[in-house]
Amino acid sequence: MAKQIDDETMENVCILAKLSLTEEEKEKAKKDMQEMLDYVDKLDELDTSGVEPMSHIFGDQNVFREDVVTNGDNSKEMLANAPKAKEGQYQVPKTIG
């Protein structure tokens, strides 16, 4: 059986999560946390001796395409749409004082 969530543990969780809970909310949270721990204990009962460890549920390998530039350098065309440009870059208003 999972470790029981006590008031001290709940108080530490509230401090770490910066939560201000009423006593009623703390009791509900303790109950919810206890249910989660009990569920994890239930999962530990499963026999996984014949299950191969995996990082993903699908057997796919790298399905991403190669990172190849296909459109080249369109900086001149992009800068043509800019309201202002200076030295090959967008010119924007100063935003920091």
Could you read off the pLDDT of 65-92 as tens digits, one per residue? 888 888 878 888 888 988 999 998 899 9
Does 37 reside within a domain?
yes
CA 31 from centre of chain: 25
Q: How many angstroms separate the Cα of 48 from the Cα of each of 53, 67, 68, 87, 90?
A: 9, 38, 42, 62, 58
For residue 92, the surrounding DSSP H or E stretch is none
The model's pTM: 0.49
Does 25 reside within a domain?
yes
User: Among 42, 16, 39, 13, which Cα is nearest to 28's?
Assistant: 13
Does 49 reside within a domain?
no
Q: How many domains does the chain have?
A: 1
Does 92 reside within a domain?
no
| pLDDT tens digit sequence for 10-29 | 999 999 999 999 999 999 99
